Amino acid sequence: DAKTTQPTSMDCAEGRAANLPCNHSTISGNEYVYWYRQIHSQGPQYIIHGLKNNETNEMASLIITEDRKSSTLILPHATLRDTAVYYCIVRHYTDKLIFGTGTRLQVFP
């Protein structure tokens, strides 16, 4: 079973920041937090990952709380092409990804 809890769906206006929350209260010390997204009918796409520090790349920022029990993925300026299902995953060294049902983000004009 997935170790994360995410809202089923969210809306965001184009050009605004999209903040996608994720709860992972049972995360262990050596598990990373990963985010993937899946645009309709495509394979999932890696976005970002982190262990305990906040991370930023060209796609997004990942904010992990100090107790590591929750995190937020931030898309700073959402576009229509960011409409997708976003998956938050905690992952052990075995490299296995366990997907939940994710958050369906709808970006509207």
Q: Which is nearer to another protein, 42 or 109 (CB)?
A: 42
DSSP code, position 77: T
The correct pick among 22, 24, 34, 103 for binding another protein (CB under 8 A) is 34
The correct pick among 7, 52, 91, 106 for binding another protein (CB under 8 A) is 91
Q: Which of 86, 1, 71 is nearest to 36 (CA)?
A: 86
Euclidean distance between CA atoms 46 and 38, whole angstroms: 9
| 35 beta partners | 48, 88
Question: Quick check: 62 binds another protein (CB under 8 A)?
Answer: no
Which residue is listed with tokens 């049902």?
Answer: 101
Q: For the CB of residue 51, give the shortest distance to another protein in the complex, in Å.
A: 8
Q: For the CB of residue 16, give the shortest distance to another protein in the complex, in Å.
A: 26
